[in-house]
Amino acid sequence: MTTPARRRGRPPSAESSARDTKERIVRAAIELFAEQGFHATSVAEIGARADVQRGALYYHIGSKEELLWQILRDYTQVMLVDAERIANGHEDPITMLDELIHSHIRLIVRHRREVAVQLRDLGALTGTRAAELQDLRDRIQHCWQRVIDAGYTEKKLHTNDHVVANSVLGMLNMVALWYRPHGDHSPDEIAGIVATTLLDGVATDSARNTKG
């Protein structure tokens, strides 16, 4: 009779418990960083809100800056994955630009607290972590630029100047600061308004007529 192989590492229950603890810490940090800022939030406050002892807290996060990095990295990676999916598609560039706007706003709204933290406290990241996050942000911008370049090449956009991508992304990110869940417009309605406004400014007449 063969003896079942013994599992190495932490038992499943312990793994689940550690994962739950880490998630509580991250949620608490997001709330506190969004409410009062990274610099004004102490590690003790994060531990108290997450109901985690100080020693265990450092075991799970390493440092406050590392926790900030994980929060900003995680939501930026989600946005990058969707931007790459759209930019790598085979749709018309105008359709892809519209999809990028809708995707970005939906994710900005879903992660609006993390976005608010990034807008205010991005400078708290230093060294390698700051460079790694900037690389993720650059890759998102590159997806947008590829779509805009394609639209310009196909004579569906008047310009492919990088100012367009920079300005639109900056405007969309600011939605995190004023969006209200029970406001007058849904995320998709906001995206529709932004897309129409953008295309009125940069799309050629033939592109607008085709989309309509």
Write down the pLDDT at residue 76: 97
Whether 169 shows a pLDDT value over 60: the answer reads yes
Whether 119 shows a pLDDT value over 90: the answer reads yes
| Three-class HEC string of the chain | CCCCCCCCCCCHHHHHHHHHHHHHHHHHHHHHHHHHCCCCCCHHHHHHHHCCCHHHHHHHHCCHHHHHHHHHHHHHHHHHHHHHHHHCCCCCHHHHHHHHHHHHHHHHHHCHHHHHHHHHHHHHCCHHHHHHHHHHHHHHHHHHHHHHHHHHHCCCECCCCHHHHHHHHHHHHCHHHHCCCCCCCCHHHHHHHHHHHHHHHHECHHHHHHHC
**107 or 63, which is more confident:** 107
Whether 1 shows a pLDDT value over 70: the answer reads no
**18 or 20, which is more confident:** 20
Whether 170 shows a pLDDT value over 80: the answer reads yes
Domains of the chain: 12-62 (1.10.10.60), 64-211 (1.10.357.10)
pLDDT tier at 11, thresholds 50, 70, 90: very low
pLDDT tier at 176, thresholds 50, 70, 90: very high
pLDDT tier at 4, thresholds 50, 70, 90: very low
User: What is the rounded average pLDDT of the residues 145-154?
Assistant: 96
Q: What tokens appear for 59 in the block?
A: 């075991």
**58 or 14, which is more confident:** 58
